[in-house]
Amino acid sequence: MRVGTLLHRLLGIVLGLALGSSLSARNLERFLDAPRPQGDGIRLVVFNPTVHNIRCLAALREKGLLEVSGLTIVGVFHDRQTENFEAAKTYTTEHGYGWLKFHAVTAELSEPVLFKRNACTPEFEAILAKADGVIFFGGSDIPASIFHQKTNLLSEVEDPYRNYLELSAIFHFLGGSQDSSSKALLAARPGFPVLGICLGFQSLNVGTGGTLIQDIRTEIYGKQSFEDMVALGAEQWHNNPYKRLQPLDRLMSYNFHSLQLKGPSKLTKELGFKATDHPRVLSSHHQALGKLGQGWVTIATSRDGKVVEAIEHWQFPNVLGVQFHPEHYQLFDPEFHTRQKAGDTPTSYYEILAGTPPSLAFNKAIWTWFSTRLQESHGR
């Protein structure tokens, strides 16, 4: 063996040991590396397992909405994300949530390789092989360069590696117009359930080749101030303008508005609602879907039809995206009270839903649907 070759191999060993030591020092759990035991219970992968998202999952379980016996939830994230996942692990331990595990992705990922086979592809393949469903949660904006736009002055990109990981995962799962020759991993498990919420909903669209409207207020409604948005009326608000106008008051950042359902769709055929129903939903976003990505059908909009609120996939029957927040841990809690603007009598999100039928039933039905599909996916 040549001396240069020997030195090269020794250097590789040293670097490998150093990397292993570094990963151990950072306490990076990799739950999905282990083989899945025969007879294992149902597994749900959630991307971006922050403290907030864990609270939402715990509340859904405690309220009997994510009602799946023996469920294990695996939180997947990229090691280079800005979020403090050590805090999430500590929160999980302190609350005794043994049903929640973590899996850190460390493979390199960059914008030019998101929509092709890359170093993270084996991670996405492992998720499809070792889990029974996936949820993509809400968060900050996607870098506009990914969907070939300049960055709007109102866009707020906070965690690019989160976007890289989730968008690449979506492309691998569902395919996309970015590469028509790519084969969707879900082709092998077409009943695999995927739910995208708020940012997750937008990511489903961008990950399959779609675009975003970067600011609803200015680009859709042509408004330049929060006062003008207030005058427009609450059905056109997708977050609470009073939160910005009355910063000294402790106001909710969310807004409730109603939906226009389109059918036939999952929301009408499977959840059992009618196009004449106008359920209210909890909303907090300033961006919206633009051009639809590959495979999507619009199944709900805002009442004026200007903002897409829900999409389903025409090829994969258990893939759903919603722009609103049916998962929020305070949504089904009658004890939590808040106000939309100064002078309001405090009320709960639960009371708002219960007081505007079929809003409460609609938000709960999303979780009944997803829980059922998760159980059906198990073992297939």
Which pLDDT tens digit goes with each residue over 198-235?
A: 999 999 999 999 999 999 999 999 999 999 999 999 99
| Averaged pLDDT for residues 259-281 | 95
Tell me whether residue 1 is in a domain: no
Decide if pLDDT at 315 tops 60. yes
**Residue 69 belongs to what domain range?**
27-215+261-273+285-340+363-377
**Predicted local distance difference test score (pLDDT) of residue 28:** 85
The verdict on residue 16 lying in a domain is no
Tell me if 239 is assigned to some domain: no
- On whether residue 356 sits in a domain, the answer given is no
pLDDT tens-digit readout, 56-109? 999 999 999 998 999 999 999 999 999 999 999 999 999 999 999 999 999 999
pLDDT band at 26 (very low <50, low <70, confident <90, very high): low
| 54 domain-assigned | yes
Q: How many domains does the chain have?
A: 1
- What share of the chain in percent tops pLDDT 90? 90
What pLDDT, on a 0 to 100 scale, did the predictor assign at position 2?
43
CATH code of 128's domain: 3.40.50.880
Is 83 within the bounds of a domain? yes
Band (128; pLDDT cuts 50, 70, 90): very high
Which of these, 286, 187, 274, 273, lies nearest to 239 by C-alpha position? 286
* Model pLDDT for residues 107-122, shown as the tens digit of each residue: 999 999 999 999 999 9
Query: Does 221 map to a domain?
Result: no
Please give the Cα distance from 319 to 294 (Å, whole number).
13
Q: Mean pLDDT score of the chain, rounded to an integer?
A: 93
Within-domain flag for 296: yes
The average pLDDT across 282-292 equals 98
Q: Which whole number is the average pLDDT over 177-204?
A: 97
pLDDT computed for residue 15 by the predictor: 41
Query: pLDDT tens for residues 146-172?
Result: 999 999 999 999 999 999 999 999 999
Residue 3 has pLDDT above 70, yes or no: no
CB 133 within 8 A of CB 377: yes
Q: What percent of the chain has pLDDT over 70?
A: 93
Task: Give the span between the Cα atoms of 213 and 319, in whole angstroms.
Answer: 22
Instruction: Examine the pLDDT at 357 and tell me if it is beyond 80.
Output: yes
